[in-house]
Structure 1
Amino acid sequence: MKTTLAQQPELQSFQPEQTIYSSSVFIERETMYVVGGHQGRLDRSQMFSLDLSKSWSTSQDPPFKKLSGGLATLAAPGALTKDKKSWFIISNATAYSYNFAASSWKSLGEKYYITERRGLAAATDPDTGAIYVPNGYGGFLDGSNEMLVYNASSSDFLKEGLHPALMGRHFYAAAWAPTLKAMLMFGGGDYNTNNTNNDLYSYSPELGWSLLTTKGDIPSSRDSTCFVPAHEGRTMVLFGGMSDQGASLLDDVYLYDVESMTWKRGKNVGVVGGARYGHVCAVSDNYLIVWGGGSDGPISNLLMVYDIEKAEWTNHYSYKPAPVNPTDLFQPSSALSLPRSNLKAAVGVLGIVVMLVIGGF
């Protein structure tokens, strides 16, 4: 008798369990990583990845991969290291590092000054490698938090001042804007009042904190949203979240142009179960990928995809290789990677082209 796929459990694809307030990082066009979250009354240690290096459909076994050794976390701040080889995360007043190549976690130590507060976010300065966690340094009950700074090269924990308006802010979103050389921090709830915000602050290691005056279709106040960079950080994508004290869940999309400081509204999900809070997001090429979270109704598909360029929700993620930068072709590393015979041939062809061009002139 012919054996079917259903009779071979080891061949069946992995489908992650729905969780709220998981933590996530992503490497564009490569992989999205998700760990932890809450389900029922328990913090889960589920950990998995989603392949972003191939095309797939949300309805036909997306390429999830179960990973071992997850952390039981809830709304834990995390960010990629500068070299994109590790994942820095804080859980229960302890800092951890996950090495992608070794598929293993390493404790960076439990520190008395690392807050136990949940609902924080982190962002990495790609120039210095410093990782910033607003409200990550200080006491939990007195609200006297400051910003925690982790120096990955020296493994040191430092602190920086925090804007007074952001003291005690939680369930906010943060991302690094390379063109500004600054971290952007959006929204979140006030710890004492639970009122949500829609303000946008920037933090520059050189200039400090500032409240940005933005224009366009400014998003409403919210927390538990996602806010991720696209187009090499020139655009920030905001999706979903929760209004004041959970009064309503949101299914809207906004694009923030970093240079012009302008918000532009995208297309709502518009289906039952499409509104999300406590979800995780990634951006790869022109696609926003949304996974998990809580909703206002039964979720038919934990994974959603938004085409940024076409401004529409879709069932398909289409992989495209990164465009080749012409200047990379003339870097020494590129030339040295060619076999000697190919290198000679390339130099010869280049010389002929130059002679033809000169002759034309």
Structure 2
Amino acid sequence: MLDLSVSWNTSDPVYKQLENGPKVVKGPCAVTNDGESVFLLSGGKSHVYSIQSNSWAVLDIKSLAVYRGTLAVTDPETGLIYFPDTTAQMYSLDLRINTVNITKGIPILDSDMIIWSAYLRSMVKVAFQGDHYTFTPSNMSESSTGWNLFRTGTVPERHKWACVLPAFGGSKLLYIVEPSAAWSTIVYTLDVATRTWTKGSPTPYFSAHACAVSGDQVILWGTFQLMTQRKTVVYNLKTGKWTDRYIAPPPRPTNTRTTHASQPPQTPTQPIPSTTPSSDMTSSNKSSSDMKPGVIIAIVAGTLLSIAMICINVYLRISKRSKADSKRTTPDGSSFESVDAQGNTGSSGKEGDSNS
């Protein structure tokens, strides 16, 4: 395994020996959409390698019997692994439930290459001979297999042992090929939107090599067994040049927010009163909120008038009582005014008799 999470020089790339797996010759292989496992079909058996545990396991999937040279690619959205077969059949594997679905496809040669373009949301078949095609699962119907011609303008020279990669979210396709007329390797970049090719600078000859893309860098390693040169090389997509150093992308930011779900629940020491409003309170609040402004003004005015009348009444009582007290204390014994329970006034004594 070549570690792309750290930077290194091409003279000393960071490789790691993994657990040995099954023997296979040109068997279909694909990485799962979560990036945690690798699926490999060998000898009619389905194998899964766990990157985290560095271990292999065998799955019981009997209906996946594809021919030698069959290719495989993963849909990152659904997680389905597609196997376009040389017999014009299309297998789709769902590893969540270990089931296989078979539909009609187009013939795939063992010299063809397939990749998944997230930009197109489709599989792209780059053919060694004949036309290029795309397969879009959402276009499948009773009248359509989902396959369509993929016209790319002027196609660069094709080679049987080339390498195809998606880059920049699938908006670019990389076609890494060694032209037959020159002992060198060239990276062609296809802009998917405009269907135009761009030719990069050549590098020392590679054939039947492994390839990967990381950010704006392409990494090649390994080559045909007859070639003596097997070093690892790096191609910069921005500068269009080969370089002797790989620069690892920055680590992804982690979420540092504190969530309540990670905290254990606390048991309250005292009962917590319910904050749910009662039906009476709810209806009262609703009635208050539904009142019109005119009604509210009338209520306020009536309340203020009632308070004013009470204040006047109290004032009159106090005033009359003060007068009465002053009349009781007169030395000549003259009459005084009295106020009954209803607030009526009357007179008694000598002045009362004379007035009557």
Equivalent pair of 1:95/1:110 in contact (CA under 8 Å): yes
Give the alignment's TM-score, normalised by structure 1: 0.64
**Residue in structure 2 matched with residue 93 of structure 1 by the alignment:** 44
RMSD over aligned CA atoms reads: 2.8
**Residue in structure 2 matched with residue 122 of structure 1 by the alignment:** 72
**Residue of 151, 161, 171 corresponding to 2:94:** 151
**Residue in structure 2 matched with residue 66 of structure 1 by the alignment:** 17
Kindly indicate whether residue 9 of structure 2 is the aligned counterpart of residue 57 of structure 1: yes
Kindly indicate whether residue 147 of structure 2 is the aligned counterpart of residue 209 of structure 1: yes
Kindly indicate whether residue 241 of structure 2 is the aligned counterpart of residue 290 of structure 1: no
Task: Tell me the distance in 1 between the aligned counterparts of 2:93 and 2:59.
Answer: 10
Greater share of helix? 2
3-state DSSP of counterpart to 1:206: helix
**Larger-gyration structure (1/2):** 2
Structure 1 pair 249/198, CA: closer, same or farther in 2 (3 Å)? farther
1:210 CA drift (Å): 0.6
The runs of at least 4 consecutive aligned structure 1 residues that moved more than 3 Å come to 109-113, 247-250
**Residue of 147, 172, 176 corresponding to 2:116:** 176
Q: Kindly provide the CA deviation profile for residues 280-323 of structure 1, in whole angstroms up to 9, marking residues without a partner as x.
A: 11101111011112177531x43111111111111110112167
**Residue in structure 1 matched with residue 313 of structure 2 by the alignment:** none
Q: Kindly provide the CA deviation profile for residues 181-211 of structure 1, in whole angstroms up to 9, marking residues without a partner as x.
A: 10111123xxxxxxxx263210000220011
Task: Tell me the distance in 1 between the aligned counterparts of 2:122 and 2:62.
Answer: 26
Equivalent pair of 2:111/2:161 in contact (CA under 8 Å): yes
**Residue in structure 2 matched with residue 7 of structure 1 by the alignment:** none
3-state DSSP of counterpart to 2:2: strand
Structure 1: which amino acid aligns with 2:101? L
Equivalent pair of 1:96/1:109 in contact (CA under 8 Å): no
Q: Which runs of 5+ in 2 are unaligned?
A: 140-145, 263-356
1:160 CA drift (Å): 2.2
**Residue in structure 2 matched with residue 5 of structure 1 by the alignment:** none
Matched length:
256
**Residue in structure 1 matched with residue 35 of structure 2 by the alignment:** 84
Alignment of 1:1-361 (within 5 A): 49-59=1-11, 61-109=12-60, 111=62, 113-118=64-69, 120-135=70-85, 144-163=87-106, 167-188=107-128, 197=129, 199-207=131-139, 208-216=146-154, 218-240=155-177, 251-269=185-203, 271=204, 274-276=205-207, 278-294=208-224, 297-299=227-229, 301-321=230-250, 335-336=257-258
Structure 1 pair 162/239, CA: closer, same or farther in 2 (3 Å)? same
Task: Tell me the distance in 2 between the aligned counterparts of 1:179 and 1:241.
Answer: 27
Give the alignment's TM-score, normalised by structure 2: 0.65
1:86 CA drift (Å): 0.9
Structure 1: which amino acid aligns with 2:76? P
3-state DSSP of counterpart to 1:336: coil
Task: Tell me the distance in 1 between the aligned counterparts of 2:45 and 2:183.
Answer: 31
Structure 2: which amino acid aligns with 1:336? T
3-state DSSP of counterpart to 1:105: strand
Percent same amino acid at aligned positions?
A: 29
Q: Which runs of 5+ in 1 are unaligned?
A: 1-48, 136-142, 189-196, 341-361
1:117 CA drift (Å): 0.8
Higher relative contact order (CA 8 A, sep 6+): 1
Greater share of strand? 1
1:334 CA drift (Å): 5.0
Task: Tell me the distance in 1 between the aligned counterparts of 2:96 and 2:246.
Answer: 36
Equivalent pair of 2:32/2:38 in contact (CA under 8 Å): yes
Task: Tell me the distance in 2 between the aligned counterparts of 1:234 and 1:336.
Answer: 36
